[in-house]
Amino acid sequence: MPGKNLSREEAQKRAGLIEVESYRVHLDLASAPDPASATFRSTTTLTFRAATPGADSFADLLAPGMRSVTLNGRTLDPAEVFDGTRVALPDLAAHNVLVVDADCAYSRTGEGLHRFTDPVDGETYLYTHFEPADARRVFANFEQPDLKAPFSFTVTAPAAWDVYANAVHESVQEQGAARVWRFAPTRPISTYLTAVVAGPYHVVRDHYRRELPDGTTLEIPLAATCRRSLAEHFDADEILTVTKQGLDFFHQEFDYPYPFGKYDQCFVPEYNIGAMENPGCVTFREEFVFRSKVTEAAYEGRANVILHEMAHMWFGDLVTMKWWDDLWLKESFADFMGSFGLIGAGTRYRAAWITFANRRKAWAYQQDQYPTTHPITADIRDLEDAKLNFDGITYAKGASVLKQLVAYVGRDAFFEGARRYFQRHAYGNTVLGDLLGALEETSGRDLKSWSASWLETSGVNSLTPQVTCDAEGRITELAVLQDGDTLRPHRVAIGLYDLDGTGALVRTGRVEADVAGARTVVEVPAGRPRPALVLVNDEDLTYCKVRFDEVSLATLRSGLGAMTDPLARALAWSAAWNLTRDALMPARDYLDLVLRFAGQESDIGVLQSLHQQARAALDYYADPAWRAEGGRLLAECALRELRAAEPGSDHQLAWARFLATVAEGAEHLQLLTGLLDGTARIDGLAVDQELRWEFWLALAAAGSATAGEIEGELRRDNTASGKQRAVKCLAALPTPGAKAAAWAAVVDSDELPNALVEAQIAGFAQPGQRELTAGYTDIYFALLEQVWAQRSIEIAMRIVGGFFPRLQTERSTLDATDAWLDAHPHAAPALRRLVLECRDNLARALRAQDRDRG
């Protein structure tokens, strides 16, 4: 796709030629409620300067139809200048006015302008999502982040609708059965940050006020929206409370007033990602509007995302990377600020760093061990590369490294550097050196070597304590061993833990040190008795995999649940999981830890992670010959802990959900059936709609539910969420027909919206159905290049990653994967990257199974 897949070199050349002055975009969306209307009219007036008069260039546009193109008053023939992806711009003047009148397509993939019809009331809703390069699906533009400009949107929409965009609306005028909304010009922003949300959204409004140091008052209108059929579930007060706390915090720390006027937060259907930082009009996936009971971890996760997107208003929107190489300049910071802000803003979510250590870092560790890993500041050749780099490196590893940087330069120097960065580069674009230069000024440290170690290299280090003792058991030397392709400087805390008189495992000593090189000797108090457990990276200051010496590992095996500090315990769980993934701990040993100690875990987020990891250990890492026994043990554990949990508690809900994922035997399936039909009851457990669907999925996958019963549940819950859940359940049925139907619905047609593609794929491959889906392996590899060429990148990525035969953990599957890679050396690099990562997961599973066999 040479025209569609913009390269870095093309973008650099265009940026050297063009300076954009303004965009005026008119979108006619009056046809949106009509499902037969596939397109909408988009008219863009783009004014820009060219450094070299007479030069040629191009604008970007992905549209099925072109009405007209006018450049500097000269009409150009669409057949000659538009190829479906680009608009050729010949013979530019010093000052140029381009007018493009096109028919753009409504989207069902979440890319561009997405259209959704609510099955509850038939209402239609629209929203845009553009990152990294889908604004060109909605209006003609220069689709690269360093060609910023002010945008003025005019939107014609049905009269009953409201319309939201980046800026406030200046006027709304009646026009027959429609209304025309005119929005004020934005400040200079990148194309991927523009946004339009339109439909009969339910809205809750509020206001934020802050006195600024110069004596003026900052006023920010606030709004939170969702579909009308979700209004009864919309806890806008909680959302807006976190929003105000975040605005207080970021104004205090960044000392730069919020730069985009209003602050709308729109919760939208069938959204591909968690949220998007469109300035003044942030969009979130509507799954954050909770229809049923969820745990406190879900509320914390939503609050984290709210603060993550808010941090982007400064890191990413006010100051933006020049090209996607420096994507981390916004995403790493926002990911770090999401957790840092939850604590600093005084929200009720005090376990943010525990969640970060247990969940976000697990994502980073996994991504950083793929053969496709990359430095935090990456080499992004084109837009397809950019799409795949919204990953665990750019987000979670980058955030982890920033946490280490704060420890390295100091909190005050870090935030003072950020303030200078905003002041110098407001509404502009930056590269790595711009930020590091500001931080060097405020910290007095040379960050070039730090950057070379942490930002410009890939891979994760392992840190292992080495304890030497005398004959009386007193420490004579404590050293930290570092392993990895690149040895980095680490500022770490080392916790020394012992059992107290009550049997609790508590910290009795702490050493903070700089670790560098392969072996670092750490000073400890003279004569200090050998502790029961040495925890390297206590307090989670650095980014590393934690290992244990033999004594510490033995203590962990016997007393992990006795650790009283929740962060230390989370780090111990994380270390055990990494040992399992690396085939250093047998999977059944990890599952034994879960069976014995998960019931003692107080942090609900950690507990839910343990449930996910236990299921993964069973499905991928355990010896297949032991898998049935392991499944039985997990199911018995889940039922035991469910009955023991406090009635109505988050822990009770988490164990009920876990039971649904591991239930296989008649006893457990009968209980789920009874909880659904009311013949069984567990005190305090409310079997609400979302939990009902989880039980139905378990029954469907086990062959204990029929298609008719699932369709009956859908009639009970005839909502968008209900439809997705029903599709997943139908795809999970253990019959050849169900698998063939799910495969065909996704692969043989592009009619399904993104949410139902995801549901079909998720239901297709169930752990207990390996033989039923084994025949699709060869079919999968045969269609890869066709899927990549014919489907949008968002849907292609889901098909390639989702349908990979990951449950066929056999050498033959690895051989088939290698054969495809060997036969397709020139396949699209982004496609090869996805397959390589799937291959790595499979090879890791095979190594872990060998380890589990002993």
Tokens of 642: 């469910």
- CB neighbours of residue 53 within 10 Å: 12
- CB neighbours of residue 257 within 10 Å: 13
In angstroms, the CA 94 to CA 85 distance is 25
Residue type, 276: M
In angstroms, the CA 848 to CA 845 distance is 5
Report whether 181 contacts 172 (CB < 8 A): yes
Output the CA torsion 838→840→844→846 (10° steps): 70
Question: Which of 123, 143, 300, 309 is labelled catalytic?
Answer: 309
Buried b (16+ CB within 10 A) or exposed e, 329-367: bbbbbbbbbbbbbbebbebebebbbbbbbbbbbbebbbb
Q: Is 309 a catalytic residue?
A: yes
In angstroms, the CA 533 to CA 62 distance is 59
Q: Quick one: which of 315, 233, 305, 297 has its CA closest to 274?
A: 305
Report whether 620 contacts 809 (CB < 8 A): yes
Output the CA torsion 622→628→632→635 (10° steps): 70
Q: Check the CA dihedral 13-18-20-25 and report its sign.
A: negative
Burial of 514 (0-12, 13-18, 19+ CB in 10 A): exposed
Report whether 26 contacts 46 (CB < 8 A): no
Output the CA torsion 723→729→730→736 (10° steps): 160
Long-range CB contacts (< 8 A, 24+ apart) of 452-455? 453/486, 453/488, 453/489, 454/376, 454/401, 454/404, 454/405, 454/488, 455/328, 455/375, 455/376, 455/377, 455/401
Tokens of 506: 């508590």
Backbone angles phi, psi at 796, to 5 degrees: -60, -40
Tokens of 327: 């994507």
Long-range CB contacts (< 8 A, 24+ apart) of 255-259? 255/213, 255/419, 256/314, 256/318, 256/419, 256/422, 256/423, 256/426, 257/212, 257/218, 258/218, 258/220, 258/313, 259/187, 259/313, 259/314, 259/317, 259/318, 259/426, 259/427
Residue 50, C-beta contacts closer than 8 angstroms, at least 6 positions apart: 17, 18, 57, 92, 93, 94, 95, 96
Residue 193, C-beta contacts closer than 8 angstroms, at least 6 positions apart: 130, 131, 166, 277, 278, 279, 316, 317, 320
Q: How far, in whole angstroms, is CA 130 from its chain's centroid? A: 16
Output the CA–CA distances (angstroms, integers) from residue 218 to 210, 252, 312, 511, in the order listed: 5, 13, 19, 45
Q: Quick one: which of 526, 451, 440 has its CA closest to 489?
A: 451
| Half-sphere CA count of 786, side-chain side, radius 13 A | 9
SS3 content of the chain, % helix, strand, coil (to 5): 45, 20, 30
Give DSSP secondary structure letters for 639-691: HHHHHHSPTT-HHHHHHHHHHHHH--SHHHHHHHHHHHHTS---TT----HHH
Q: Quick one: which of 701, 699, 681, 802 has its CA closest to 746?
A: 802
In angstroms, the CA 719 to CA 723 distance is 6
Catalytic center residues: 309
